[in-house]
Amino acid sequence: VQLQASGGGLVQTGDSLRLSCAPSRPILSSWHVGWFRQAPGKERQFVAAISWREGNTQYTDSVKGRFKISRDNGENMVYLRMDSLKPEDTAVYYCAVRQLRNRTPLAAAGSLYDFWGQGTLVTVSS
């Protein structure tokens, strides 16, 4: 599965962005899709994940209430709506797919995800 992330850019504190993730093939109902980010000089960090069938979501604490992950099953797309952006949100954002056969709880560990996109840069100026 190839993943194309887009929608990044340069914004100011408090602005909003919507990132998109376009998989190269249909996402199966048992799979999960996650968003991760990596700031300069820092380790990759989990941001959010969604289960394709149920639409269950999970977020890292620092983005709860500001970010929303969603999916469009018909369009086979995943989105990350980011509101009230802060300078500390500056990072390259990656989407990733976790291939599963059975219903499984969402996970934040990047090592559990099987395919990764190339990333899109989000820069939030103060």
Going by their DSSP bridges, the two strands 67-72 and 9-12 should be labelled as: unpaired
pLDDT, position 100:
94
The model's pLDDT over 49-61, given as tens digits with 9 standing for 90+, comes to: 999 999 999 999 9
Hey, how many other C-beta atoms are within 10 angstroms of the C-beta on 42? Answer: 9
Percent of the chain scoring above 70 in pLDDT: 100
Rounded to an integer, the average pLDDT of 16-24 is 97
For the chain, the average pLDDT equals: 97
Buried b (16+ CB within 10 A) or exposed e, 53-79: eeeeebbbeebeeebbbebeeeeeebb
